Amino acid sequence: MPKLILKIALDLPLDRLFDYLSGGQFAQVGQRVLVPFGRRKQIGIVIGVADSSDFTVEKLKTVLQVFADELPIDTETLSLLKFSADYYQYPFGQALLSALPARLRQIAPAVSRKQYVYALTDLGRQVDVKRIPKRQLVARRIFSALQMHSVLTEAALDAISSSARKAVKQLVADGWASRRQVPAIIKTLATPPATEPALNEEQKLAVQRITQESQLFKAWLLHGITGSGKTEVYIRLMQHVLQHNEAQVLVLVPEINLTPQLEARFRSRLPNFTLVSLHSNLSESERLHHWQLAQSGVAKIIIGTRLSIFTPLPKLKLIIIDEEHDSSYKQQDSMRYHARDVALVRAKRLNIPVVLGSATPALESWHNATVSANKQQTNKYNLVSLNQRAVIAAELPHIECIDTTKVNLQQGLSPQLIAALKLRLVRKEQSLLFINRRGYSPVLLCLACHWIAPCTRCSSRLVVHLGLRTLRCHHCGHEQKIPKQCPSCGNADLHPTGHGTQRLEQTLVQLLPTARIARVDRDSTSRKNSLLEILDQVHKQEIDILVGTQMLAKGHDFPNLTLVGVIDTDSALHSPDFRASERLFAQLMQVAGRAGRADKAGQVIIQTQFPDHELFNALRSQDYVTYANALLLEREQVQFPPYVFTALLRAEANEYLRVQNFLRYAFELARSLSHDVLVYDPVRPQMERLKGMERGHVLLQASSRTALQHMLRNLVQQLRAQDSAAKVRWAVDVNPLEF
């Protein structure tokens, strides 16, 4: 009798499966196992079962343990991860294991909170409650409750009687009731039910169009201006899907800080459906518990950041991607996947709808929803627009640009902005100042020799954090004390130049001593739940002015906030990155949308040296469509994405010579593999050195996705076989967002 061979994926940088003997243990595809590998033990996932191997049976090792009490990963999730690993040129085993909660990657049983549930057996359904003696009152009440409800939890038993758990054991012993173990439901604070707002005509049409075709795959681009009620459309779609069949809904969000707000709103409107969140702020045990609730089908609503797209969901019927344009959906290391694109693949495979919502869609999405539709191509996006704010009295804020070359700034603030801040204090309204630079000052400058404090490990400058008297690199985390004199010339007059959130906060304290000010950036919100506490203070009217980075730019709804001030965004106007203007426009539209969302008029003041720039002209009229179409025309003329498909071969090492030799070899190899792919010469990125590593890359470009993928498969396969490739750290970035 042939011995059973298990094909197992391991978390190793090798694009292959490993054969092990089952040792008589039963293991399903998707099951977690413990295996010996060299002198170590490793966790793996069973991908297949076979009767033979390319190796002799004597050379094969035996699986040490099968974690049979855990649900196996379903074949749909395994297939999605295999597709993603192939498309993004990443070893399957590493992709698979990295998609699991940390507890499932550890060499131990995945202990999670569980509970017992009880139900009547076939025999119990035929029994009359009168057969239970009258003196066994608790048993009678339990039996009657089981007849009324299909399942009783331990909490439901406790509500019947303190002795109910003891009484139900007799019903199980008699064969009238069954007991099984399931993941424990998350206990949450009771959220008061919210009233259902009336939809305007645009919202009604959006809901109607999408729900009419909710039984098949379609990609819907929900383009709605800020405050147009996109979240309410999401809720109505979720209600439709969840109430009409046994279903799950996955809601992707770009940032962790948007999760609690959506959670609270969904719980108040959809109280009868179990909701879990998945993000990196959860503890390991919390993440495992939430993941298992989703995997078992108990959780009906799953809110999560980008990695959640790989969560096993057996009853998934709808995917919603909020702020679909956000670059946070793109993973920047390991497997460099884009959650939005993977979501589209998953929805198509399951034949379910996917909704992409944004006030400023990514140009790729806008291209798929408009240009492709005009060319009558199939399988592209369907456009649904919301052009008016959901609150009837709410209007789009008035946007004005202040020419900072013609006014005297007071600590970085224009007289117009200071006056507007004072007016809001008098009116008891709230303001938000947006500056996408944390710290006190971005540069420490010597006024004598113009020395600027550099990072020794990165091609960047150290940022001044005055409160801690330190200089810090925001790329690698390097810290050092602020020098007392210039290391170059000995001058003691070192001057912090430019503004960050800390300096702006200090300026406001001096200018507006009565104002209650809160700063929101990565430094001020590092403690768990600190951001939630600040946002709660804003809603309670305990804060007058918010100072923050892009953490505040999107998703938040502050009814009493009527003024947004934007400080110093000009550097993005002249960036070498061709996507910089698209990102800046989206960012400014998003932050401007925080103002005037209720019945009070909003105002946005942008300080810039280039008030007549076409970006600001489009922003003042809040005309995304015209600006997006103009950018697409530019991209088409110069053949940039989305009109071509690109990939970056990135490499880094301690010495640039190693990077140079590797990239030169890769460049020559790539050119020899395909005439349909344009291969550019190796170059150094703008950030030449990062975290002590010298960097370089090769850009590959093709008019056909298929041609690019075919060439990448051959290129990566041959590079992995090269000894020189082991001397550098290299990776392929398909559809890169940053160059």
**pLDDT confidence tier of residue 375, bands split at 50, 70 and 90:** low
**pLDDT confidence tier of residue 468, bands split at 50, 70 and 90:** confident
97 with 118, same domain: the answer is: no
Backbone angles phi, psi at 127, to 5 degrees: -90, 140
Lowest mean pLDDT among 371-385, 426-440, 533-547: 371-385
Element spanning 40, H or E: strand 40-50
Q: Which residue has the higher pLDDT, 123 or 244?
A: 123
Rounded distance between C-alpha atoms, residue 151 and residue 218, angstroms: 36
What pLDDT does 327 receive? 92
**pLDDT confidence tier of residue 138, bands split at 50, 70 and 90:** confident
Domain count, the chain: 6
589 with 568, same domain: the answer is: yes
540 with 668, same domain: the answer is: no
Nearest CA-CA partner of 416 in 519, 567, 293 = 567
End residue of a domain, out of 420, 454, 483: 483
424 with 460, same domain: the answer is: no
216 with 140, same domain: the answer is: no
41 with 13, same domain: the answer is: yes
**381-386 and 517-520: which strand pairing?**
unpaired
Domain containing residue 277: CATH number: 3.40.50.300
**479-481 and 470-472: which strand pairing?**
antiparallel
Backbone angles phi, psi at 248, to 5 degrees: -130, 150
What pLDDT does 555 receive? 64
Task: Determine contact, residues 390/206, Cβ cutoff 8 Å.
Answer: no
Task: Determine contact, residues 632/598, Cβ cutoff 8 Å.
Answer: no
Name residue, tokens 């940088």. 13
450 with 430, same domain: the answer is: no
206 with 257, same domain: the answer is: yes
Q: Which domain holds residue 37?
A: 5-105
**pLDDT confidence tier of residue 522, bands split at 50, 70 and 90:** confident
- Specify the amino acid at residue 552: L
DSSP assignment of 72-126: PPPHHHHHHHHHHHHHTT--HHHHHHHTS-GGGGSSS-----EEEEEEE-HHHHT
**pLDDT confidence tier of residue 123, bands split at 50, 70 and 90:** confident
560 with 676, same domain: the answer is: no
Mean pLDDT of the 222-231 span = 89
241 with 230, same domain: the answer is: yes
What pLDDT does 1 receive? 38
288 with 166, same domain: the answer is: no
Task: Determine contact, residues 77/312, Cβ cutoff 8 Å.
Answer: yes
End residue of a domain, out of 599, 634, 669: 634
Mean pLDDT of the 435-464 span = 89
663 with 561, same domain: the answer is: no
What pLDDT does 282 receive? 85
Residue 427: is its pLDDT beyond 50? yes
pLDDT tens across 607-643, in order?
999 999 899 999 988 889 999 999 999 999 999 999 9
Question: Has residue 739 been placed in a domain?
Answer: no
Mean pLDDT of the 161-186 span = 82
Lowest mean pLDDT among 240-249, 546-555, 706-715: 546-555
**pLDDT confidence tier of residue 378, bands split at 50, 70 and 90:** very low
